[in-house]
Amino acid sequence: MKIAVQGEKGCFHEVAARHYFHNENIEILPCSSFDLTIGAVVNGLSDFAIMAIENARSGSILYNYTLIRESGMKIAGEIKLRIKQNLMALPGQKISDIKQIRSHPIALAQCMNFLNNYPEITLVESDDTAGSARIISENRLKKIATIASMNAAQIYGLEILAEGIETYKKNYTRFLVVGSEDKVNLTGNKASVCFATSHKPGSLAAVLVKLAEMNINLSKIQSVPRLNGDWEYMFYTDLELPGDIDVEKTRAVLEEITNNLEILGIYSKDDTLYES
């Protein structure tokens, strides 16, 4: 089974994929962007894709909501991963030897309390955490470090100079597992739904009232611009369904009070918090 991920070998997306598919023999297909990641599924190059959708500190990745909806793919599941950031470099060096740290801008931002202790070190943004680890390893770059997963250090033979340097220890990222509808089992107690509402006072409130009346827990709501020039928004929601309410009943109710309703996925809620 092939799983497409954004990033190179050793990235956090790969760690999430291996946790989610721990009972499967999987092959990781690295992709340089989220567009290529979901495109790999659309074009049959991979069976599923793993895509980050939100971080506990930095919020939602709005672009990925639109990518999933426009691709026609469905959400098969979710996984929450604690993002543990580690400073690493070629073996035999100390932090005092490091002149530059290269990593993804989000990884750098998540570690600023630690990095502020070393103002003499230059911070350089890169496309990928694991990719930076690979470049340092392949080119034997001394005095240059990166921030990446423990898995990346093991793959590329780097030495951990400082472990767990993220500012917030409850630094979790939620990933979605995405696949074509014929490979996704659309059953479970959680549904991801998107819709638009009319430009009338109380339109969104009416939706929230209906969900409350059905005892459906709205665990997430996110507005994303429709980019049509009319200042309209799509609302992406995660609904936790009680045992006596199925998604078809929910769809029927929402269709009466929303526009462009679409079920992006039905899957099992996962409260497990995995370690990276």
Q: Please, what is the angle between helix 62-71 and helix 34-42, to 10°?
A: 20
List strand residue ranges (DSSP E) for the chain, in order.
2-6, 27-31, 48-55, 59-60, 74-82, 86-89, 100-103, 122-125, 144-148, 159-162, 172-179, 190-196, 217-225, 233-240, 259-267, 273-275
Kindly list the distances between the CA atom of residue 78 and the CA atoms of 51, 220, 238, 266, in Å, as whole numbers in the listed order.
9, 14, 11, 10
Which residue among the candidates 37, 173, 197, 250 is catalytic per the annotation?
173
Catalytic-labelled residue, pool 34, 48, 175, 195:
175
37 is catalytic: no
Residue 175 annotated among the catalytic residues of the structure: yes
d(CA 264, CA 191): 7
d(CA 67, CA 61): 10
**What are the residue numbers of the active site?**
173, 175
